[in-house]
Amino acid sequence: MEYNYLKIKNENAICTLAISAPKSLNALNSTILKELDDFVSNIPADVRVLIITGDGEKSFVAGADISEMCNLNREEGYAFGRLGALVFRKIETLPIPVIAAVNGFALGGGCELAMACDIRIASNKAKFGQPEVGLGIIPGFSGTYRLAKLVGMGYAKEMIYTGRAIRADEALRIGLVNAVYEPEQLMAEAEALAIRIIANAPIAVRIAKESIDAEYDLAADDAILYENNAFGRCFETQDQKEGMSAFLNKTKPEFRNK
């Protein structure tokens, strides 16, 4: 599929995807959602970390496209929300880590896209918010679900009920982002983070992601058992042998994704 709204750079196992709709501050219309769906459904097998950002200096994603949503009826609203929610869920469940490099406005569907990623880092110009109730709707791409998980009920309810946008420093304080950088450093820091991840055993990173996500909603005993099984699976890999023997031999491991 040819993409009109996605700019993709794929180098050294790190793929950077920039959403690019400059006229609407990268707001998500249904074509962008379909392009995103196609991209994440066909992500090249050699990609080990995906970085998602917004094209331009001002915005990550300024939400879902209000001009497209304006005249939807109930069924159409459901279909639009479902399309976005399913794409974001595909991003969340990709077998590789996904980093959101939030370079500006991350409002509504933009904040929700960032929250579907594994790790969020931000420029000090970024702003996060769920302003939907001011438009007569609620967050529709799983924001009511993920925001509370990330920052707790109290902050999530305050942000969603008031629609107040918060700056990057507040997002850092409440745990919505992991780190804040000068705008010109953001992409280099995202790549540095990706490089630190891909230095490790690929299968172990994949199993770690799968385990953290699967265990989050389980009761303690079930979660611990899940981890025990996942831990056991690591010992079927050549990379486990390589990692441990390299440590014992005081050499650098050469992981082969096997």
Residue 129's beta-bridge partner residues?
107
Nearest distance, CB of residue 82 and ligand DAK, angstroms: 8
Residues numbered 141 to 200 that lie near ligand DAK (CB under 6 A) are: 141
Stretch that binds ligand DAK, among 12-20, 24-32, 166-174, 192-200 (CB under 6 A): 24-32
Contact with ligand DAK (CB under 6 A): which of 97, 109, 202, 243?
109
- 8 Å CB contact between 168 and 125: yes
- 8 Å CB contact between 51 and 17: yes
Q: Which of 203, 205, 226, 202 is nearest to 214 (CA)?
A: 226
Residue type, 168: A
Query: Does residue 57 have an active-site annotation?
Result: no
Nearest distance, CB of residue 84 and ligand DAK, angstroms: 5
Comparison of 23 and 250: residue with beta carbon closer to ligand DAK: 23
Nearest distance, CB of residue 27 and ligand DAK, angstroms: 3
Active-site option among 57, 112, 184, 254? 112
Q: Taking CB under 6 A as the rule, does residue 54 contact ligand DAK? A: no
Q: Taking CB under 6 A as the rule, does residue 102 contact ligand DAK? A: no
Query: Does residue 92 have an active-site annotation?
Result: no
Contact with ligand DAK (CB under 6 A): which of 37, 132, 191, 239?
132
Could you tell me the CA-to-CA distances from 123 to 47, 49, 231, 241 in Å, in that order?
24, 20, 36, 39
Q: Taking CB under 6 A as the rule, does residue 81 contact ligand DAK? A: yes
Task: Compute the distance between CA of residue 161 and CA of residue 183 in angstroms, rounded to an integer.
Answer: 29
Nearest distance, CB of residue 19 and ligand DAK, angstroms: 12
Contact with ligand DAK (CB under 6 A): which of 54, 140, 202, 243?
140
Residues numbered 57 to 76 that lie near ligand DAK (CB under 6 A) are: 62-67
Angle, alpha carbons 207-210-215 (nearest 5°): 120
3-state secondary structure 13-81: CEEEEEECCHHHCCCECHHHHHHHHHHHHCCCCCCCEEEEEECCCCEEECCECHHHHCCCCHHHHHHHH
Binding residues for ligand DAK, rule: CB under 6 A, are 24-25, 27, 62-67, 77, 80-81, 84, 105, 107-109, 131-132, 135, 137, 140-141
What is the set of active-site residues? Answer: 112, 132
